[in-house]
Structures are given as structure tokens and as C-alpha cells.
């Protein structure tokens, strides 16, 4: 670490788990989460010399969010890419991972995955990455008021979906 | 009773501790006067808790290895030990190919585990949906290691108090 800036290896080792978890909650499956997290780490490496020590998690969340949004845009341009192209895209990675997300967590994850992207990003950055509204605004390039509105709308949609699960 | 979007957005921001002093005072006054608004607050809190209680999604053990290479886990922060972007991309492609094989074996394991777990959890054909609130509570308790904390919203009545969450 020099001048408060961690090395890339330190970030990968210490924050890889954080990046992967956020990527998983955005993407909704392990394979895409691995791709997103790896691409995010590549961008971290390229951008590390420009990093100004502040909230490292906020910076990392901003990068993985941008990777996610770039990927969604790419898939909209080439919709066939959204289809499963290998077995593990639609299969659990391991029995342990399957058990870890069983039950109500699956319902929550499913509802989360069903949210429009802008609401999903806002909710994930708030409730999974634990960022403050101003950090989410910085990460997504929208005003704080928009972040507040998106989190509210996202939670409303989740609530409607989860109440449906209850019935 | 229904509330306007601005009020509901403020409720979410209140839970996230994102209101300024004036807004917080206003919303607390309204909460103290309205059972319906407190019910809304509780509903938002349930959804928020459901997402926050999602388990940390662990990356496959091979994930960081594929990024960091064989040196992962060693204290080698020297810049020259950091793989190039091209090297990382190559490892990523190689990892993607091997994941398909891992997925096949994982499927067999997952199927076996699922049978055992389902047999234990659902001995009969009937399934009973529990109310959302109790599902969220069980979900949150599981995520927090069954620490059994009280529902933070319940302490609001009759006079609202700001809810602080670890941030």
C-alpha cells in the first residue's frame, strides 16, 4: 500500500468477496457474477493509479455497477447473448451454494432479479453494498433525490412481489 | 389510507437514516399521529430487512485463484507480481471452460442433497405459506446468526424514534 492506496492484489484478496456478492445480487447467477466481478477487478487494476483514497467500497461498487450496466446494454444490443450458453449458467455451482440460498432467500433474490435495472441497482447498492445515498448517487451518476426515489420504487415492487409469495 | 410518494419516500429514507433534522422531525410527528403511517413504515422495514438479510454469496473457491493465479493467498504485494490484463483475460476464459465440467458434477451433488433436504423439510404434500412478516423475521434471524434482535420498527409506537442501523 502506498499513500493510502492499496495494491491491486490487496483489493482483490480483501474485497473480492464484497465485489462478488454485489455482482451476484445484481446479476442473479453465479456465472454472470464471476464475469462481472472479474471484469470489475480488471477495471480496478487499470484505474488504480487514478484512485483517490475515500470510500474504497463505494469506488468498487461504482465499478461493478458500471460493469453490470455496460453488460446489460451490450445484451440489449445483442439479445441472443442473454440466453444460457453453457451448463453452469443455469445450474447451481455447488450443493452448498444451493442450500445457502434456499427458502425465502430464493424468493427475495428472485424478486430482486425481477426489478427494472435502475431500481435493482439502487436497492442492491443501498441494502447489499450498504452505501449511503450520496455514494449511490455518485456511483450511478444521478441526483440523491433520484436515488431516494429509486430505492423507494424498488422496495415497493419487491414488497408487491413478496406479498404475492406469501399468498 | 394512502400516502403520497414523497411521504413514502421519506419513510424509506428515515429507515436508512438519510433525512436531515427538519425532515426527520416532520416524519416523526406524522408517525406519532398515524397508525396507518406506522404500518407503512413497518412494511417498508420488512422488505428492507429481507434484502439486507440475504446471505453473503460466496464466490467459488476457484474464483480468486483464477484472478490472482497460483500466488493467491501469499503476501506478495509487489507490483511485478500482478498479472497483466491479458493474462487475467486468458485465465478467465480458461476458468469459464472448466466451470462447465464442475457444474456437471455439482448438479449430481445438488440433486442428491436436494432430495435429502426436501424429504426432511416437506414430509407431506401440503405447503403452508407463512405471513410475510414472519418469513422476514425468520430470514433475518438466520442471517444474523439467530441473534434474535427485536423488530426495530416495533419500538416506534406510540412516539416515533429514529431507527439506527449499523453503518
pLDDT at position B24, please?
97
Per-residue confidence (pLDDT) for residue B155, from 0 to 100:
42
Classify burial at B2, counting beta carbons within 10 Å of its beta carbon; exposed 0-12, middle 13-18, buried 19 or more: exposed
What ipTM was reported for this prediction? 0.81
Asked if residues B47 and A155 have their Cβ atoms less than 8 Å apart, the reply is yes
Model pLDDT for residues B36-60, shown as the tens digit of each residue: 999 999 999 999 999 999 999 888 8
pLDDT band at B144 (very low <50, low <70, confident <90, very high): low
Name the pLDDT band for A49 (thresholds 50, 70, 90). confident
* Residue A155 near residue A166 (C-beta atoms within 8 A): no
Residue B139: list chain A partners with CB under 8 A: 103-105, 108
Residue A140's alpha-carbon distances to A117, A120, A136, B137, B162, in angstroms, are 11, 12, 6, 31, 27
pLDDT at A76: 85
Q: Which of A122, A130, A134 is nearest to A158 (CA)?
A: A122
Question: Which DSSP state fits B50?
Answer: H
Rounded-to-integer distance, Cα B32 and Cα B37, Å: 9
Nearest chain A residue to B46 by CA distance is: A159
Chain mean pLDDT for chain A: 83
Do residues A130 and A98 lie in contact, with contact meaning Cβ atoms separated by under 8 Å? Answer: no
Question: Which DSSP state fits B3?
Answer: -
Between chain A and chain B, the number of residue pairs with CB atoms below 8 A apart is 182
Residues 6+ apart with CB under 8 A from A68: A23, A26, A27, A36, A121
State how far residue B132 is from chain A, nearest Cα, in angstroms: 6
pLDDT of B31 reads: 97
**Res A26 pLDDT > 80:** yes
A113 to chain B: closest CA residue = B51
Distance from CA of B103 to the nearest CA of A (A): 5
pTM: 0.69
E strands of chain A, at which residues? none
Q: Is pLDDT above 60 for A127?
A: yes
| Structural contact between residues B11 and B48, judged by C-beta atoms closer than 8 angstroms | no
pLDDT tens track for B14-29: 999 999 999 999 999 9
B-interface mutation test, from A7, A34, A36, most B Cβ less than 10 A away:
A34
Q: Find the residue in B nearest to A163 (Cα).
A: B132
B71 pLDDT more than 80:
no
Amino acid at each position: 500500500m502506498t499513500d493510502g492506496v492499496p495494491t491491486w492484489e490487496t483489493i482483490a484478496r480483501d474485497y473480492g468477496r464484497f465485489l462478488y456478492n454485489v455482482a451476484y445480487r445484481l446479476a442473479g447467477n453465479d456465472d454472470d457474477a464471476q464475469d462481472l466481478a472479474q471484469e470489475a477487478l480488471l477495471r480496478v487494476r487499470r484505474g488504480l493509479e487514478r484512485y483517490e483514497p475515500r470510500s474504497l467500497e463505494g469506488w468498487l461498487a461504482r465499478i461493478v455497477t458500471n460493469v453490470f450496466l455496460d453488460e446489460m446494454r451490450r445484451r440489449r444490443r445483442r439479445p441472443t447473448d442473454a440466453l444460457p450458453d453453457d451448463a453452469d449458467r443455469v445450474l447451481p455451482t455447488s450443493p452448498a451454494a444451493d442450500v445457502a440460498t434456499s427458502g425465502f432467500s430464493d424468493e427475495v433474490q428472485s424478486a430482486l432479479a425481477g426489478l427494472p435495472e435502475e431500481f435493482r441497482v439502487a436497492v442492491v447498492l443501498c441494502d447489499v453494498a450498504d452505501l449511503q445515498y450520496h455514494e449511490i448517487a455518485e456511483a450511478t451518476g444521478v441526483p440523491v433525490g433520484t436515488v431516494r426515489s429509486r430505492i423507494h420504487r424498488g422496495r415497493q415492487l419487491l414488497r408487491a412481489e413478496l406479498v404475492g409469495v406469501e399468498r | 389510507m394512502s400516502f403520497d410518494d414523497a411521504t413514502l419516500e421519506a419513510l424509506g429514507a428515515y429507515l436508512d437514516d438519510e433525512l436531515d433534522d427538519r425532515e426527520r422531525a416532520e416524519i416523526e410527528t406524522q408517525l406519532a399521529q398515524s397508525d396507518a403511517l406506522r404500518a407503512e413504515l413497518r412494511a417498508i422495514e420488512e422488505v428492507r430487512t429481507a434484502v439486507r438479510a440475504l446471505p453473503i454469496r460466496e464466490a467459488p473457491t476457484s474464483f480468486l485463484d483464477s484472478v490472482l493465479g497460483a500466488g493467491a493467498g501469499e503476501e506478495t504485494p509487489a507490483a511485478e507480481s500482478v498479472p497483466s490484463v491479458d493474462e487475467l483475460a486468458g485465465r478467465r476464459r480458461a476458468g469459464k471452460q472448466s466451470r462447465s465440467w464442475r457444474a456437471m458434477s455439482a448438479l449430481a451433488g445438488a440433486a442428491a442433497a436436494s432430495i435429502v433436504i426436501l424429504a426432511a423439510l416437506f414430509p407431506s404434500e401440503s405447503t403452508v405459506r407463512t405471513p410475510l412478516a414472519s418469513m422476514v423475521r425468520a430470514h433475518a434471524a438466520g442471517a444474523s446468526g439467530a441473534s434474535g434482535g427485536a423488530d426495530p420498527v416495533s419500538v416506534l409506537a406510540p412516539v416515533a424514534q429514529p431507527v439506527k442501523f449499523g453503518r
